[in-house]
């Protein structure tokens, strides 16, 4: 039985929500993002895109390209509420669906053709979302998530398209290689240098060559070029929080050491947020004293997944929380009030340098491991702890010999 996988993607979601709340903005070139010169574009209307404006572009450059654009700082709460509304509409109709981000969804409609026309059902669902949520949304259906997502991206806005089973290769063939999901700038640049610019050309590359050039990622490239994708639609469930904590072998009062451990924790949970394409708006710090008294403090912040934002709050909470000057046996950090969404939502406060930095950091951590890239202060403490352990072992050996 052929699979039927539907991809739904809200068109220019942030901009659409702003226009929904303020209809006079419709038809104007709009940019959602940071107002400062060093800010970046979080989203833009299709009217602004005609001038070459796109997300993650520096704001000063976007305004040079489109000086008449209206800049809006953004309302993350409104975006989250509208995303939740669309999620409820889909959940009420779909047999199984996955919320891939704040503005895109997958539905596994396999087997529904035995009862009625699946594509017609998908078209009706799209129209229902447009009517009830008041937001534009595009839809495509194919045999897998890969082809459906590419089709939606190519044909939007206001798109509804079915790629019949067996037509995947023909549909993908003329597209540029950077249209394939997860083909980043580095991979695309490498392929361009070899003269590979379209999916059709990539499909002609021998699998052993791609593996030698890209490792395991080469297998993924080969499969995608051939329209092969067996990844399942993962049923949607709302994750409540991401957290980590550490209990010490020996209770400590070393504040410098404690803060360095908290830095490492923030790096870990923030990376997990970005990997899962989530954002948090509640930050909690927990400490447990040597007498087992446990205290927590939390604060609400604009949705973010940025290390530097979370770290600043965690350090402030710890300073307010740790007031007994007693030995501590445990510290912990929890991020909650999670929403699905790419890092783009927090671009309202980030600069171009911040975004480039996090992309580079996450690339290294994803490829080589989370612990392969850490802040210098964390490394200093790790080395100091290692030295202390070696000294302790030396003392034990000396005592045993005596």
Catalytic residues: 104
Contacts of 141 (CB under 8 A, 6+ apart): 4, 5, 6, 7, 109, 118, 119, 122, 148, 161, 162, 163
Closest CA to 191 of 229, 224, 169, 155: 224
181: tokens are: 């999901």
Are the beta carbons of 118 and 162 closer than 8 angstroms? Answer: no
Reply yes or no: is the peptide bond before residue 273 cis, omega within 30 of 0: no
- In our burial notation (b when 16+ CB lie closer than 10 A, e otherwise), range 383-394 reads eeeeeeeeeeee
d(CA 280, CA 304): 6
Are the beta carbons of 375 and 267 closer than 8 angstroms? Answer: yes
Are the beta carbons of 325 and 288 closer than 8 angstroms? Answer: no
Distance of CA 298 to the CA centre of its chain: 23
Distance of CA 374 to the CA centre of its chain: 20
Distance of CA 396 to the CA centre of its chain: 48
């Amino acid at each position: 039985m052929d699979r039927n996988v539907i991809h739904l993607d809200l068109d220019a979601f942030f901009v659409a929500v702003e226009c929904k709340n303020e209809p006079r903005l419709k038809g104007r070139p709009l940019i959602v993002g940071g107002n400062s010169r060093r800010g970046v574009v979080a989203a833009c209307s299709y009217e602004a895109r005609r001038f070459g404006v796109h997300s993650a572009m520096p704001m000063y450059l976007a305004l040079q390209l489109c000086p008449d654009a209206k800049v809006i700082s953004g309302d993350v709460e409104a975006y989250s509420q509208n995303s939740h509304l669309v999620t409820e509409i889909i959940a009420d109709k779909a047999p199984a669906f996955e919320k891939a981000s704040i503005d895109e969804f997958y539905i596994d409609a396999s087997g529904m053709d035995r009862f009625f026309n699946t594509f017609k059902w998908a078209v009706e669902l799209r129209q229902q979302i447009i009517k009830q949520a008041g937001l534009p949304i595009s839809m495509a259906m194919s045999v897998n998530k890969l082809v459906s997502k590419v089709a939606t991206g190519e044909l939007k806005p206001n798109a509804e398209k079915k790629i019949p089973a067996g037509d995947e290769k023909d549909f993908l063939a003329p597209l540029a290689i950077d249209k394939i999901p997860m083909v980043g700038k580095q991979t695309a640049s490498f392929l361009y240098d070899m003269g590979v610019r379209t999916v059709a050309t990539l499909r002609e590359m021998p699998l052993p060559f791609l593996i030698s050039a890209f490792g395991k990622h080469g297998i993924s490239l080969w499969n995608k070029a051939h329209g092969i994708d067996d990844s399942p639609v993962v049923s949607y469930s709302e994750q409540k929080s991401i957290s980590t904590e550490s209990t010490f072998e020996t209770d400590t009062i070393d504040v410098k050491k404690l803060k360095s451990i908290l830095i490492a924790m923030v790096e870990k949970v923030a990376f997990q947020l970005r990997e899962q394409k989530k954002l948090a708006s509640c930050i909690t710090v927990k400490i447990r004293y040597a007498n087992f008294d446990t205290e927590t403090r939390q604060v609400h912040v604009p949705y973010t997944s940025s290390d530097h934002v979370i770290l600043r709050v965690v350090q402030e909470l710890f300073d307010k929380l740790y007031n007994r000057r007693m030995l501590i046996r445990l510290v912990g950090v929890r991020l909650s009030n999670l929403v699905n969404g790419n890092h783009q939502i927090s671009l309202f406060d980030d600069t171009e340098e911040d975004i480039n930095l996090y992309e580079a950091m996450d690339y290294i951590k994803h490829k080589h491991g989370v612990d392969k890239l850490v802040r210098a202060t964390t490394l200093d403490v790790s080395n100091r702890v290692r030295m202390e352990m070696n000294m302790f072992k030396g003392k034990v050996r000396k005592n045993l010999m005596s």
